[in-house]
Structure 1
Amino acid sequence: MAASLMPTDRLSTVDEHVERIVESLRPLPPYAQPLLEAVGLPVCEDITATMDLPSFDNSAMDGYAVYFDDVATASPDHPVHLPVVGEMAAGQTKLFALSPGTAVRIMTGAPVPQGADSVVPVEWTDAGVANVRITQAPQRGQHVRYRGEDVRRGDVLLEDGAVLGPRQLGLLASVGRSQVQARPRPRVVIMSTGSELREPGAGLDHDSIYDANSYMLAAAARAAGAIAYRVGIVSDDPQEFRDALSDQLVRADLVVTSGGVSKGQYDVVKEVLAELGTVSFGEVSMQPGKPQGFGFVGEDATPIITLPGNPVSSYVSFEVFVLPAIRRMMGKVPYRRPRVRALLDKGMTSIKGRQQYARGWFEIDGKGAHVTPVGGHGSHLMGDLSDANCLIVLGADVTSVEAGEQVQVLVLDRDF
């Protein structure tokens, strides 16, 4: 599979680069997966019920199964007395057939005896064992869960494409499904490059920094539903990067790199991948995150997305480009995080010709949805990124926005 080349004579728009990636990818093939393994994944089949739910008439209360006509007149002043001829507990295999003029003590979830049509809660009785005194009458059929009142055999429980969450999983388990057809979680390999990088916990030289990107991107990939493999730091040596990439392809459905894609002398990712001829590099009209790359590597044409190395640029690029790729491979729609509108609390400026992704704090209160810019524009400001819960999106033609105007916002850490 060959990648569409990125334009070299002009900057790509954000939308163009997103579509270039998404249209080059295909959802991963589905297979039968255990329910818990498929949580968060779209099912790849219409799932119909093969049984009624409930599968038998059962009691909604602890109490006494009765014929309604026997207790219809019960009241505190004129209680009804009935002999108790048996007891039914949930999971009990012995079945009763109730005769008129008698009662069966019954527990919640237990099968209602044949012939009984109502349940008297124990609170409306004296809790008798051999005989029961009933001081309040239920309505006919009250406190009985009837077979099929929730789900009927043949009902469509989930349609193809529905995302399996905890409630849907519970429904499928309740009708006996142990597996579903679903696409696997993409295996995303995260690689950080740079000879200046050090592992957290190690000592720092005067010109070295800790590797934040690989941890941040691996966490973001997991949050998106993928299986993330964080690779140890790769230096700026081209052969080391080639070897590391080759070793990782065996377990990758997608490779994501950070760093080494700009115009510097030691931009190893760009240097090595450009030689392959299947990965294209260019610039996208956005801030932060201008230098980008995308293509395919290895015998199996594994897709690779290369991100800039500055932490904020890398994170914004993940949100804008990698997240849609992961969702595309999982078969989730929409691919892109939806935008919401909010009132801007403080004026902002932006560079003409660049789609701006500024850090912000989004909240909804009695005055509606509003957003406040957080920190500055620097693509190295990790503290500001951590303090933000959204990205404020300003179009490439926007140079300034006044307080009180509406802006578009990407709310982070929200499922969609």
Structure 2
Amino acid sequence: MAPLSVEEARAALLAGLRPLGRIKVRLEEANGRVLAEAVRAPGPYPPFSRSLVDGYALGPHDANSDGSSFIYRLVGTVTAGSTTAIALKEGTAAAVFTGARLPEGTVAVVPVEAVKERQGEIVVLDFPASGRYLEQSGEEVKPGEEILAAGTVIGPGEISLLAALGFREITVYRRPRVALATTGNELREPGNGRVADFFDRAAIYGSNLYALAAAVEAYGGQVICLGILKDVLEEQVAACRRGLEEGDLLLFTGGAGGSAFDFTSAAFSGAGGELLFTELAVRPGKRAVAARAGNKLMIGLPGTPPAAQVLFYLLVVPVLKAMGGRQGALSAFLAPLKKAVDRPRAERTFYWARVECRGGRFEVTPLPRYPGGIRAAVGANALIDLPPGAAPKEGEEVTVIMISDIE
């Protein structure tokens, strides 16, 4: 197969992809989930007209006032949560507290400090009553109003709104189940024996399994761990079949290079997958594989950790977002380089980078490059996207793709 661009590969993966099924979750489980349907208010908010301050609810002022002083007679007190039934008539008032239901007939509320004088049950003002310091029923939310649209990602603010309107559970898209495996005879689980002894062997700790599991969960997926697989085609085909049965997406790392011991393409095909691509026109991550088995995707990332992580953000994140009902790609924009890129590359290249905001403007610094790349992503919150042959100098603008928040 001819190498595909990142955009072509992404389009092939997203073609026909739809959000997964819908489930109901309790409000305490809703943070980070995506609404599968619009939410409408079951009633008004606030549910009753209420005071915004500690003070006095006023009825119509006395028509016989001399215009210099306005006198009211107190007829009761209403605290927050009280259902005391008081009706205010001309020249009467009630003491109220913040959040209290306003008595019938209230035309205004004044804070305690605005009262000119209080003598027993008499309150005196030196200005006429106005409509400040109170909130009418339904002033913020009308009954039946759409308060949250389908596709909204639920956060603390949305949870607060839902709870205030009495919702106990909501309908969200199901989180994608990602069957995750890494391949290679040289890989071992971290913590398997003493580290000092381990480094004398021809083996390495398998970091991709842990890094990608964390990344999958950060973007709303649930991990089904298939573990470390040997470079044995039959074992990998069996793992693929299990992953397709239990997961919504199959994600492999390693074995995509096309050598005699790279079996990802063959394993995907052996499990019933139709290959979409086997190579990309990009670095790092040139060797990547993808296949479709029915309505499920199989993605094989490179075994080199920085390449696997770069392609995770470029290809897997859009898939997870689409499956989970989220909209849009990762944020991308132009920013000036704080440090020059060392040399041009023949292919389109993605560099690990860190973006900072200084003096109201963004700056991006490419992170150090290491031969093995195991430290490449440490401290990164972005990728720099450079076209073939580009080697921009300090101060030149480059395309930046954000992968986490700017601190």
Which bracket does the TM-score occupy, shorter chain normalised? Answer: 0.7 to 0.9
Structure 1's 74 and 245: CA in aligned 2 closer, same or farther, altered over 3 A? Answer: farther
Report the residue type matching 2:279 in the other structure: E
> How big is each residue's C-alpha offset from its partner over 1:121-168, in whole Å with a ceiling of 9 and x where there is no partner?
233459979636556657512211111211222333233333333323
> For 1:314, which of 308, 313, 322 is the aligned residue?
308
Q: Which range moves more in the overlay, 282-291 or 251-260? A: 251-260
CA distance in 2, matches of 1:264, 1:182: 43
Structure 1's 74 and 329: CA in aligned 2 closer, same or farther, altered over 3 A? Answer: farther
Identity of aligned residues (%): 31
Counting only pairs closer than 5 Å after superposition, residues 118-197 of structure 1 correspond to structure 2 as 118-124=108-114, 131=121, 133-134=123-124, 139-197=129-187
The 3-state SS of whatever aligns with 1:273 is helix
User: Which residue of the partner structure matches residue 390 of structure 2?
Assistant: 399
Q: Which range moves more in the overlay, 40-49 or 401-410? A: 40-49
Q: Does the 8 Å contact 1:63/1:106 carry over to 2?
A: yes
User: Which residue of the partner structure matches residue 284 of structure 2?
Assistant: 288
> How big is each residue's C-alpha offset from its partner over 1:155-197, in whole Å with a ceiling of 9 and x where there is no partner?
3323333333332332233333334433211111221222222
CA distance in 2, matches of 1:356, 1:87: 71
The 3-state SS of whatever aligns with 1:408 is strand
> How big is each residue's C-alpha offset from its partner over 1:19-62, in whole Å with a ceiling of 9 and x where there is no partner?
11011422213344444444434433333333222121111112
Q: Which range moves more in the overlay, 120-129 or 261-270? A: 120-129
Q: Does the 8 Å contact 1:279/1:293 carry over to 2?
A: no
> How big is each residue's C-alpha offset from its partner over 1:332-390, in whole Å with a ceiling of 9 and x where there is no partner?
221x21311011223323322x2210111212222722212111264x32323112221
Q: Does the 8 Å contact 2:60/2:89 carry over to 1?
A: no
Gaps in structure 2 of 5+ consecutive residues: none
> For 1:270, which of 265, 279, 290 is the aligned residue?
265
Structure 1's 129 and 290: CA in aligned 2 closer, same or farther, altered over 3 A? Answer: farther
CA distance in 2, matches of 1:31, 1:239: 36
Structure 1's 140 and 73: CA in aligned 2 closer, same or farther, altered over 3 A? Answer: farther
User: Which residue of the partner structure matches residue 403 of structure 2?
Assistant: 412
CA distance in 2, matches of 1:323, 1:400: 27
Report the residue type matching 1:363 in the other structure: E
CA distance in 2, matches of 1:224, 1:73: 66
> How big is each residue's C-alpha offset from its partner over 1:238-290, in whole Å with a ceiling of 9 and x where there is no partner?
34333434444443111211111112332243342233452425110110001
Report the residue type matching 1:222 in the other structure: E
User: Which residue of the partner structure matches residue 5 of structure 1?
Assistant: none
CA distance in 2, matches of 1:71, 1:197: 89
Q: Does the 8 Å contact 1:83/1:130 carry over to 2?
A: no
- TM-score, normalised by the number of residues in structure 2: 0.87
User: Which residue of the partner structure matches residue 368 of structure 2?
Assistant: 375
Q: Does the 8 Å contact 2:60/2:91 carry over to 1?
A: no
Pairwise CA RMSD: 3.0
Report the residue type matching 1:188 in the other structure: V
Following TM superposition, by how much is the alpha carbon of 1:74 offset from its aligned partner in structure 2, in angstroms?
Answer: 12
CA distance in 2, matches of 1:333, 1:413: 17
> For 1:214, which of 200, 209, 213 is the aligned residue?
209
> For 2:350, which of 357, 363, 367 is the aligned residue?
357
Following TM superposition, by how much is the alpha carbon of 1:325 offset from its aligned partner in structure 2, in angstroms?
Answer: 0.5
CA distance in 1, matches of 2:85, 2:117: 21
Counting only pairs closer than 5 Å after superposition, residues 48-63 of structure 1 correspond to structure 2 as 48-63=40-55
Report the residue type matching 1:412 in the other structure: I
The 3-state SS of whatever aligns with 2:166 is coil
CA distance in 2, matches of 1:133, 1:67: 12
> For 2:299, which of 297, 305, 328 is the aligned residue?
305
State whether structure 2 residue 231 is matched by structure 1 residue 236. Answer: yes
The 3-state SS of whatever aligns with 2:229 is coil
CA distance in 2, matches of 1:327, 1:174: 28
Q: Does the 8 Å contact 2:37/2:150 carry over to 1?
A: yes
CA distance in 1, matches of 2:295, 2:260: 27
Counting only pairs closer than 5 Å after superposition, residues 9-20 of structure 1 correspond to structure 2 as 10-20=2-12
Report the residue type matching 1:325 in the other structure: V
User: Which residue of the partner structure matches residue 98 of structure 1?
Assistant: 88
Report the residue type matching 1:326 in the other structure: L
Structure 1's 72 and 214: CA in aligned 2 closer, same or farther, altered over 3 A? Answer: farther
The 3-state SS of whatever aligns with 1:362 is strand
- Tell me the matched-pair count: 399
